[in-house]
Amino acid sequence: MSHIMELLKSLLTMDYLGDSAGLTSEQTDKVLQFQDLTGVEDISICRDVLQRHQWSLEVAVQEQLNIKEGRPSVYASEARPPAVISDHLAQHVFYSPPSDGSASGFKGFLRNVIRVFFSLCYNSLLSLFSTVFRIFGATERAPLTNPLQDVMTFIQSYDEKYTSQHPVFYQGTYSQVLNDAKRELKFLLIYLHNEDAVDTARFCRTTLANTAVINYVNQHFFFWGCSTRSGEGYKVLQLYRPTYYPYLSVVVLKEGRMTIVARMEGYCAAEMLHQRLATIVHDFEANLVTARADRMEQSLNRSLRAHQDEAYMESLRADQEKERRREEERRVAAEILRREEEERLAEQERKMSIAREKIELVTKVPKEPNLDHPDAVHVVIKLPCGTRLERRFLKTHSLEAIFYFVFCHPSAPDAFEITRNFPKRVLKCRATSSNCSIQTIDEAGLSNREVLFVNDLDA
């Protein structure tokens, strides 16, 4: 089976799509899936539908199924219809007089005069009533008819009275079908039905029931119809103002506006209608091709702008992140400098405090005894910086006196301990608590001549 699918893809790409199509393998798969899901036999139609929907398989299939069921596509809306203009210069006009001859002679002239007079009177009265109602009436009023119901009722009565063999009627309002045709870039074929016209029944049972006409209309057009007796049909009647029935009009997007490019009034055979529609499609298809190209260009421009905006936002976010990091680094650096300054000031304050303390503690250093004093002890103190201090103390002096002597010397470290090498021990020169007493030099076992060492506790 996989070999068969690969062969179909190859044939599809070479024979049907052609080398110029340049379809990717993924696009080829979507064409085959679309054909399988919708049953459309013409490969080129499958390709065109998918291209029109930017290769969105889901949307393309939904639109095709909606057309088969005669429902508005996913793009239909209840919004006001776009303005429709009439291209009088390039418009195709096809006219066939009624088969009963009512359009000829004095009788036909009189009928036209009466119709024009009635239309003028009706429009004048309608405008007058609307003006009076706006002046004296409420701001809103409920619609007199249901447009969608008018369309659905017409389709049901058409099937019952004439035949169910006809092009697929668009099951939506006039506003919906106009908006849908504009968005989908398709031709719109409008049929205004007047069951009292002499050629209406024959046109419905023969021309619109023709298989070739049905297939061609379903393939190239949105087909919308309504009875002129209904509110929705009469509203459209006032816009298009047909002279004779059956009445068909073709609307297509041309130069950015929905334009009436063809009018067909009176009966025509199926072959003639098929030929007329083909001529119209051939002459105005270029407008849809141009519109599709414009939309594709706009889509590409939007995509390009979106990518540019995304790249700009990404660059902006990167710049903001860099600025945030720089700000964070500046903040951290400022915090470090602040802490360093605080530490420097604290250290400076500490040293000044120690300097003041050294000056104050000088008074606690006892007077040095004479050399011949019997209780004198000669102490040699070696500082970490290499300085050698010598001083005599009495044996009755506390070890704290030695500590104060060292502490007050300019070369002494701020925090230190005094040790003795033989035996190796640290002298307790300061009380660790209020209940602790300091030994005297004699109690500490220091003899007549001692060598002590100062160790820097901050080193």
Domain borders along the chain are 2-69, 84-114+143-304, 365-456
Question: Could you tell me which CATH number the domain at 84-114+143-304 has?
Answer: 3.40.30.10
Per-residue pLDDT for the chain (459 aa), expressed as one digit of tens each? 444 445 445 554 444 444 434 688 888 888 888 888 777 777 877 887 787 777 878 777 767 766 665 656 555 554 566 788 887 788 899 988 877 665 554 555 555 556 546 555 655 565 565 556 556 554 344 345 689 999 999 999 999 999 999 999 999 999 999 999 999 999 999 999 999 999 999 999 999 999 999 999 999 999 999 999 999 999 999 989 998 899 999 999 998 899 999 999 999 999 999 999 999 999 999 999 999 998 888 888 888 888 899 999 999 999 999 999 999 999 999 999 999 999 999 989 988 888 888 888 888 899 999 988 888 999 999 999 989 999 999 999 999 999 999 999 988 898 899 999 888 889 888 877 666 778 888 888 888 888 999 999 887
Cα separations in angstroms, 429 against 381, 394, 419:
14, 15, 10
Residue in the block written with tokens 């006001």: 80
Architecture (CATH level 2) of domain 365-456 = Roll (3.10)
Quote the pLDDT of residue 326.
94
Distance CA 289, CA 54 (A): 14
Q: Which amino acid would we find at residue 457? A: L
Distance CA 116, CA 266 (A): 18
Instruction: Kindly state the DSSP code that residue 82 receives in the 8-state scheme.
Output: P
Distance CA 268, CA 277 (A): 12
Q: Which listed CATH number (3.20.20.70, 1.10.10.10, 1.10.8.10, 3.30.70.1290) goes with 2-69?
A: 1.10.8.10
Handedness of CA 150, 156, 160, 162 (dihedral sign): positive
**Omega prior to 374 cis, within 30 of 0:** no
Alpha helix ranges (H) inside 137-246:
147-161, 174-184, 200-202, 211-220, 231-240
Contacts (Cβ under 8 Å, ≥6 apart) of 191: 208, 223, 224, 225, 226, 246, 247, 248
Long-range contacts of 298-306 (CB under 8 A, 24+ apart): 299/54
